[in-house]
Amino acid sequence: MNLPPEKVGPGRLFRLLLRSPRPWMDIDYQVAGFKLRVYAIHSRDMMEALDGDSVECHIVAAVTHLRDGRRAFDNAEQVGMMLEHEVSALAKDVSEALSVISPVLPMSDLKAWVQTLRKGADENPSEAIALGHCYDAALGFGAGRIIPRPDRFFGLPFRQLTDGQWFLYHACREWLEKHTDHRKTKGAPPRRRGRRR
């Protein structure tokens, strides 16, 4: 299972996953003199890449862009036209970036990621509060429930949210609940009882 990266502190990891519409990270590798940027991959795209051939080429083509936002490669076949050592070097840089900005639920330790991102929320309280408050409260049948709405924060439909953005949302919800749990507040004034008539 993939764990949160040790080389990136919780606060910075939190900020990287805040980036929208998808988290991204610049890498040093260049193609034809252009510097590259890696965007987080959706879990469904990762699973589709793993199902086929030339896995490295498919993943590199899906997530690698130029710094101005244009795709670096049209398809996996174009990546495969590079020399073998070039593909390996680029795939290594891409993999390292994805290990930071793109945890994929089937391959990642959700509990460890959320725990680390909760620590990151301590360094980014304003963003944690804003994201943690993105929910609807549904009432009925004598009970209430929370409906997650991270789509409001990131400005994306649910289907386009990455697993990392969901991890971050759950971390913010837990962090917010911990810091707003009035039941644990010490020194709270006693409840006043109404007078009997």
- Average confidence (pLDDT) per 10 residues, the chain, 197 residues: 95 97 95 94 90 90 95 94 95 97 95 98 97 89 83 94 97 94 48 47
The pLDDT value recorded for residue 49 is 87
Strands, E, within 40-149: which ranges?
Answer: 64-66, 135-140, 143-148
Q: Is 65 part of a structural domain of the chain?
A: yes
Are 97 and 131 contained in the same domain? no
pLDDT at position 182: 47
Same domain, 59 and 85: yes
Q: What pLDDT is stored for residue 181 in this prediction?
A: 67
For residues 111 and 177, state if they share a domain. yes
Residue at which a domain ends, from 61, 83, 101? 101
Edge to edge, the sheet with strand 64-66 lists 24-31, 34-39, 64-66
Helix (H, G, I), strand (E, B) or coil at 24: strand
Task: Give me the pLDDT at residue 142, please.
Answer: 65
Residue 153 lies in a domain: yes
